[in-house]
Structure formats: structure tokens, C-alpha cells
Amino acid sequence: MPRHVSQIDAFHAEMRDFSDFGTSTRILEIASAGRSITVYVNEFWTSKQRAAHSLHEVSYRACFKPQLPRFFIERFTTAGEKVYDPFMGRGTTLLESALLERVPVGCDINPLSALLCLPRLRSVDLTQIEKRLQEIDLNTAKDIREDLLVFYHPVTLRELCALREYFLTKENAGTLDDIDAWIRMVATNRLTGHSAGFFSVYTLPPNQAVSIASQIKINAKRGQVPTVRDIRKIILKKSASLLKDLSAAEKKHLKAVSKKAQCVTASSAHTPAIADSSIALVVTSPPFLDIVQYDQDNWLRCWFNGIDSKAVPIWQWRKAEDWQAAMSEVLRELQRVLVDGGIVAFEVGEVRNGKIKLEELVIPAAASAGLQAVAVLINDQEFTKTSNCWGVDNSSKGTNTNRIVILQKSLRCNG
């Protein structure tokens, strides 16, 4: 029996009997694209974010928990195989793949993604980070953006602008090394937040930068003014937190795997840089319908890294048919890059309080692309409250469940 056929058979058997968290799987059948598809409902991985590796703790809007990609990586791949995320965001799938000794491949239209992901695949020593931070002159800013004083104390803003200019100068000169890239990644993650562990005064969480006008209102409502933050100390503390779980063995194989890793900044519907029939598994979560404003959320991060956020052509749809058409293009590209029998775990969500279920759009689009739906997995972390398995009533806002369509490239398709 071909390996990929036996994997799917084993997956169905395991899901039927799964009870790792004390509940039995509920099994449904739905009809889509002229076929009956099995739906499994259970808690398939822990809801505890802190159970994941510390290297993941970089904030990014609408990212899934590391336990999700790990669940599929462990079941559908072996060490050395390539795992791909065409909407990689902060790089959760890529990092989890690397920690499991798979070769990570990712794509995102936003250049921030590679900037946030790659440094964690090439982890550097805390002593190297501390030494480099002391070497960087934070008193050399030539251009200080005064409108950002709503977020930062004048001293902090001056140092932040100097740090920004340092990174841009080194990047333009081609001399930005792994240590610089790590510090830039951490600084990008510490730009704004709601505690003294960030460079800014109190504002929204770090994965969602508010506008300057909104911050003025926040400051007035709270009666607050920005205070001085120690940039070096904050970066070093966050670095220590990210690296705390990293063992010597993990660091060794991350270093080896990172040399083979591939991060593409492009549309996920057109990735010629990724070879035909090279990917064993895809684990991804695409942008949903008009839910998250990625460009607005990341405007400050883009500024810090010299990226024009308005020029990044991030997909945004309001109509279900437009979303489905875009996903059809992506799925055709996934069919091309997958090995025969390769698997896609396509995480979707309920939209507009459950009125639109994106899996019902994905399955026929996948079929037209040469990808067959073999199952739907609903990871429900408040299982006992579920009254309607297909609708998952307790999670209409998408906070407690993951809905994953499992697709497979036909063994008869050759790309």
C-alpha cells in the first residue's frame, strides 16, 4: 500500500478513537462536491498556549497556536521532508516544522513575515545579542518622526529612530547579519503594547497598532504620557524569554535545517520559486472575509522596517465568491508544489457569526484544483458546550474552535 494511502487510513482510525483529553470523538457526515465527507469533532490538541515552545512567542494578528501544525506534521511527515505555509504570518508552521527536523518553506505577501520568522530559525546566543546591543549607538538619529511622540517618550523615540536607521543602513549595504536580524525582529515585536515590557505608553496589544489619532484619545482617556523605556534592556529581556526553552540539540538542528529553509515574499497564488512536487505537507490558515485589517494593524511595524504598508497588496475580500475565487488560485498552486499523495491541512473559520462556513467554499474549489477532501477536523476546546457539531454554536466568533479541511493531492495527478 502506498505510504500516503496508509497515512490517511491511519488518520481516520486515530480520529475515530481519539480521546487524549477525556472526550470521545463525535462523527458526522456532510455532502460536498458530490461526495460524502467525514467530520470529526473533539479536542485534538491542548488549549494551553504556554505548552508550546518559547520561540513562538512573537505576537502577530490572527495566528494559530503551534499545537495545530504540530498535530499534522507529526502524522503526515517524517524528518527531512518539506512542510509549507503559503500564508505564513509570523511563521508558526515554519518554526514548528524546524523544531521537528522538517524543512520549512513559507510564503507571504507581507515582507514582515520573513523578517519575523527567519531570525528564530537561526537563533543566536544571548551573549552575542547583549554585545551587539552595546555596540549600537542609539544617539545618532538623523530623522525623528515627531508624530510618534503620542506613543514614545522623546528619549525613547530618538533611540528608536537611531535603531531603525542602523538596521536600514546595514540592510542596504548588505551587511545585516543574523545577530542584527534577531535584534530587529525583537524590536519590531516590542514597538507597542500594554505593559512596561514594550517601548510605548499603554496602547493596544502588540499585534494591533492603533492610529495616531486613536492613541491621542487613549492617552487623554487614561490621563497618561509616555515615559522613558530602556530599549536595550527590553530587547535583551524579550530575547531571553524567547530562547529559554531552546536546548543545545534543538539549536543544532535548527541551524542545520535553516540552511535549507525557504521564505518567499510573493502572492501565494504564484510561487515559481517553489519547485514542483517538492512539498509533503501544507499547513495554513488563509485570510478570512473582511475580519482582520492586516495592513492597518502593521503600519507601525512596517514604518520601523522601511516598508510602505499601503504598497503591500494584501488580499481583502467582502464577498464569499471573491474569497473562493482567490482560494481556487492558491489551491491550484498548492496542487503543483505538492508531492503525489501530499496533504493540505487548510484551517478556516466561521465568518459573520457562523452564517458563512468557509470549508463549504474550500471543498469544491479544492476539487477543481485536483485536491480531494478526505476529512474535516473541528478542534473544539469547549466540547461539552457544543450543541450543534457542524455549527459549533459556542464559538460563533471563532475563539474556541479550529476548523480544518484535510485535502490530498491525487496519486494520479502529476502537477
Strands (E), 67-195: 82-85, 103-108
Instruction: Work out the number of other CB atoms within 10 angstroms of the CB of residue 214.
Output: 13
Nearest to 71 by CA among 44, 40, 41, 38: 44
Q: Are 373 and 366 in contact (CB under 8 A)?
A: yes
Instruction: Work out the number of other CB atoms within 10 angstroms of the CB of residue 396.
Output: 16
Quick one: pLDDT at residue 380?
A: 82
Instruction: Work out the number of other CB atoms within 10 angstroms of the CB of residue 211.
Output: 12
**Residue whose C-alpha cell is 499601503:** 310
Quick one: pLDDT at residue 4?
A: 62
Query: What pairs with residue 114 in β-bridges?
Result: none
**What distance lies between CA 257 and its chain's CA centroid?**
19
Query: What pairs with residue 339 in β-bridges?
Result: none
Q: What φ, ψ does residue 305 adopt, rounded to 5°?
A: -105, 15
Q: Are 96 and 70 in contact (CB under 8 A)?
A: yes
Walk along the chain (415 residues) and give the pLDDT tens digit of each residue: 455 667 899 999 999 999 998 899 999 998 876 788 999 999 998 765 457 899 999 988 767 889 999 999 999 999 999 999 999 999 999 999 999 999 999 999 999 999 999 999 998 999 999 999 999 999 999 999 999 999 999 999 999 999 999 999 999 999 999 999 999 999 999 999 999 999 999 998 776 789 999 999 999 999 999 999 999 999 999 999 999 999 999 998 898 999 999 999 999 999 999 999 999 999 999 987 665 555 678 899 999 999 988 888 777 777 888 888 999 999 999 999 999 999 999 998 765 555 667 788 899 999 999 999 999 999 886 544 333 434 444 434 444 578 899 999 987 544 4
Question: What are the C-alpha distances in Å from 379 to residues 43, 179, 343?
Answer: 5, 38, 18
Quick one: pLDDT at residue 312?
A: 80
The amino acid at 102 = R
- Is pTM beyond 0.85? Reply is yes
With b for 16 or more beta-carbon neighbours within 10 A and e for fewer, the 263-286 pattern comes to bbbebbbebeebeeebbbbbbbbb
Quick one: pLDDT at residue 309?
A: 81
How many angstroms separate the most distant Cα atoms in the chain? 69
**Domains of the chain with CATH codes:** 3-112+247-293+313-409 (3.40.50.150), 126-243 (no CATH)
Q: Rounded to whole angstroms, how far apart are CA atoms 100 and 197?
A: 30
The amino acid at 292 = V
